[in-house]
């Protein structure tokens, strides 16, 4: 079974698809209570406390006090900006292993784009700086974990000028034409210009949806349910939370519940290929093949070559020992997602089997360079060392 999802900043399809982009609509509404199935899941070990997502720790407060005071005449935003980017300051690293709270990100000095934006917002607010979260319009980036596929969207942060009036009860209107954008991955200027502001409740829903996807990928289905449920409660218009719930129901064996929640998401966004794919999968799981076939036809028109289409064919060719064909298929997928580390890894593997050690070396180096977690970087580094050791042995003969 394959599902799809979306998470913010790097992320689910079982093969479901998971996801985390905002669905902006004009007015909020109550969460779809009939779509929840609380009684079928183990109770949460402890309630999910959303107040901890932006919580400032004493260590963070001390850091602000001791390191982020602006010099006379200098914009305090630039002081914070320098601290985020300079390796002799906070020494932040991009790490997509898990979505962290502000405190967790500060402690680890690492996080994905959403975690880093949340931490930056928390520090900025301690400096009396207004902030705006923004959804950046970029092509979705895909990754996978087992039979779960993750579509990632991107969030960054705009910093306003420090409040001239420090009275917390005084309203402050942010001058959006005079902001400083903080981003942790390079993005095209056009995407920055078309970024859309996000309300904080949507950012919280994104955070919770990411956590749900990560918990599901780790096999913690009950915990994933409560995180996704909370996401839908925090922002009922955030449709990706309902998609994630559908994938969770699939994995929990509740196909009727999965169908109901995915139908809801699909009716709200009929052309969303992630919702379509997951709904079709659920209908197939229930042997509703005629209706599923109709959705598959529509899906094929919207997306003839879904994410990982050529990658999966390439892996099948590897299983058959046809490394030349696998290389062609992996190269074709790489044209669509040139920075995906796992594709570079598999191109290294097939080139190694074909005797192209230089190409194997180059692709493994690219896998290491493009890895999104510290653990993956270590794995690729070890494999690169072995390739180079083998190259050295051959040269010595």
Q: Say how far apart CA 165 and CA 151 lie, in whole Å.
A: 42
Are the CB atoms for 216 and 4 separated by under 8 Å? no
- Of 263, 281, 306, the residue at which a domain comes to its end is 306
Q: Check whether residue 240 and residue 322 sit in a common domain.
A: no
Q: Check whether residue 173 and residue 270 sit in a common domain.
A: yes
Q: Say how far apart CA 144 and CA 239 lie, in whole Å.
A: 21
pLDDT reported for residue 174:
53
Q: Say how far apart CA 116 and CA 84 lie, in whole Å.
A: 9
> To which residue do tokens 């914070």 refer?
80
Q: Say how far apart CA 182 and CA 154 lie, in whole Å.
A: 12
Q: Check whether residue 205 and residue 347 sit in a common domain.
A: no
Q: Say how far apart CA 244 and CA 292 lie, in whole Å.
A: 19
Q: Check whether residue 320 and residue 230 sit in a common domain.
A: no
Q: Residue 345, class by beta-carbon neighbours within 10 Å (0-12 exposed, 13-18 middle, 19+ buried)?
A: buried
Q: How many structural domains does the chain have?
A: 2
Q: Residue 207, class by beta-carbon neighbours within 10 Å (0-12 exposed, 13-18 middle, 19+ buried)?
A: buried
- Counting every residue written for the chain, the total comes to 397
Task: Give the CATH number, domain containing residue 107.
Answer: 1.25.40.10
Full pLDDT tens readout for the chain, 397 residues? 566 554 444 333 334 555 543 334 434 565 678 899 999 999 988 889 999 999 999 999 999 999 887 666 678 888 898 888 876 678 788 888 889 999 999 999 989 889 999 999 999 999 999 999 998 877 677 788 878 888 888 888 999 886 555 554 433 445 555 788 888 877 777 666 778 899 999 999 999 999 999 999 999 999 999 999 999 999 999 999 999 999 999 999 999 999 999 999 999 999 999 999 999 999 999 999 999 999 999 999 999 998 889 999 999 999 999 999 999 999 999 999 898 999 999 999 999 999 999 999 999 999 999 988 888 999 999 999 999 998 888 888 7
Q: Check whether residue 167 and residue 246 sit in a common domain.
A: yes
Q: Check whether residue 279 and residue 333 sit in a common domain.
A: no
pLDDT reported for residue 21:
38
Are the CB atoms for 155 and 133 separated by under 8 Å? yes
Q: Check whether residue 280 and residue 295 sit in a common domain.
A: yes
Q: Check whether residue 83 and residue 205 sit in a common domain.
A: yes
- Of 288, 306, 324, the residue at which a domain comes to its end is 306
Q: Say how far apart CA 122 and CA 105 lie, in whole Å.
A: 11
Q: Say how far apart CA 345 and CA 53 lie, in whole Å.
A: 34
Question: What is this structure's pTM?
Answer: 0.84
Q: Check whether residue 234 and residue 381 sit in a common domain.
A: no
Q: Check whether residue 284 and residue 192 sit in a common domain.
A: yes
Instruction: Retrieve residue 180's tokens.
Output: 């400083």
Residue 208: name the closest of 254, 182, 240 by CA: 240
Q: Which domain holds residue 126?
A: 1-306
Q: Tell me: the pLDDT tens digits for 239-262?
A: 999 999 999 999 999 999 999 999
- Cα angle: 54, vertex 55, 61; to 5 degrees: 115
**DSSP H/E element including 20:** none
């Amino acid at each position: 079974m394959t599902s799809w999802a979306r998470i913010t900043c790097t992320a689910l399809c079982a093969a479901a698809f998971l996801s985390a982009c905002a669905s902006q609509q004009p007015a909020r509404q109550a969460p779809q209570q009939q779509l929840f199935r609380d009684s079928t899941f183990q109770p949460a070990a402890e309630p999910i406390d959303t107040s901890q997502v932006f919580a400032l720790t004493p260590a963070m407060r001390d850091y602000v006090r001791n390191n982020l005071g602006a010099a006379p005449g200098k914009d305090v935003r630039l002081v914070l900006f320098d601290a985020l980017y300079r390796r002799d300051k906070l020494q932040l690293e991009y790490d997509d292993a898990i979505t962290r709270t502000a405190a967790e990100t500060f402690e680890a000095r690492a996080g994905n784009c959403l975690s880093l934006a949340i931490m930056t917002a928390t520090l900025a607010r301690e400096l009396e700086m207004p902030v705006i979260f923004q959804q950046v319009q970029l092509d979705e980036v895909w990754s996978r974990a087992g039979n779960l596929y993750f579509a990632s969207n991107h969030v960054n942060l705009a910093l306003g000028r420090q409040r001239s009036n420090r009275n917390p009860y005084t309203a402050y209107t942010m001058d959006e034409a005079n902001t400083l954008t903080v981003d942790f991955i390079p993005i095209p200027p056009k995407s920055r210009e078309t970024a859309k502001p996000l309300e904080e409740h949507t950012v919280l829903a994104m955070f919770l949806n990411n956590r749900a996807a990560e918990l599901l990928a780790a096999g913690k289905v009950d915990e994933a349910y409560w995180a996704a449920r909370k996401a839908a409660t925090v922002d009922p218009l955030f449709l990706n939370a309902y998609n994630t719930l559908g994938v969770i129901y699939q994995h929990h064996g509740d196909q009727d519940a999965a169908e109901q929640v995915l139908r809801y998401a699909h009716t709200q966004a009929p052309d969303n290929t992630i919702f379509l794919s997951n709904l079709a999968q659920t209908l197939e799981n229930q042997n509703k093949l005629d209706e599923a076939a109709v959705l598959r036809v529509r899906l094929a028109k919207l997306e003839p070559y879904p994410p990982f289409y050529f990658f999966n064919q390439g892996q099948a060719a590897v299983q058959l020992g046809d490394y030349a064909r696998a290389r062609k298929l992996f190269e074709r997928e790489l044209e669509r997602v040139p920075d995906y580390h796992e594709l570079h890894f598999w191109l290294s593997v097939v080139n190694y089997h074909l005797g192209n050690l230089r190409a194997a070396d180059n692709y493994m180096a690219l896998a290491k360079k493009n890895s999104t977690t510290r653990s993956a970087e270590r794995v690729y580094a070890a494999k690169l060392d072995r390739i180079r050791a083998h190259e050295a042995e051959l040269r010595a003969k």
